[in-house]
Amino acid sequence: MGKSIGLLELKSIPVGVETADAVLKAANVELLTASPTCPGKYVIILSGAVGAVKSAMESGQQVAGIHLVGHHIINNVHESVPSAIVGTSDVTKTAAIGMIETMTALSAVQAGDMAAKAANVSLMEIRIARGLGGKGFVLLTGEISSVRSAIQSAMHQLAETGDITSSCVIPSPHPGLIEKLSN
């Protein structure tokens, strides 16, 4: 049985906290993050076995009700996604870095998963809407061809939604840049 993550975005912070409590009580899942984001929304990301995440998400959607902005489940999520969401990835040396900016927190997580599955890259961070006006971004690293391939794949897969705003690939980034991006 694979590991899944569930993502809920709400337009009410109090209902968001109540929903986070409900998803944890509904099934044996781990809360990766539950926090207010810009602009006045609340994002919940949980992880666990496929069935547990599905059950918790159903409960969360019921509690959120009319305050639910978006939700998504990623089954068989790439193993690097949870640590990139919580900012515990450790990357110090790289041939290239790539970045994808998205319109929403949920699409940033989707883009990170797609990119990590598409090529041999390491996710450095998936930032979800904190201080970004509701946007998100994915920061990844690897060999330049892998970084390009990963970004192209995520952009292609999310092209229909219009959720990707921009991207870049930087070959041979300056060590000072990597140091600041890793903090």
What residues form DSSP beta bridges with 136? 102, 128
Q: What is the pLDDT of residues 87-127, one digit of tens each?
A: 766 665 678 999 999 988 888 999 999 999 999 999 988 98
Band (pLDDT 50/70/90 cuts) for residue 65 is: very high
Secondary structure, 3-state, 37-88: ECCCEEEEEEEEEHHHHHHHHHHHHHHHHHHEEEEEEECCCCCCHHHHHHCC
CA 124 – CA 167 distance, rounded (Å): 15
Record the pTM: 0.85
- C-alpha–C-alpha distance, residues 45 and 161, integer Å: 21
- Residue 178 predicted with pLDDT over 80: no
Q: Are 116 and 164 in contact (CB under 8 A)?
A: no
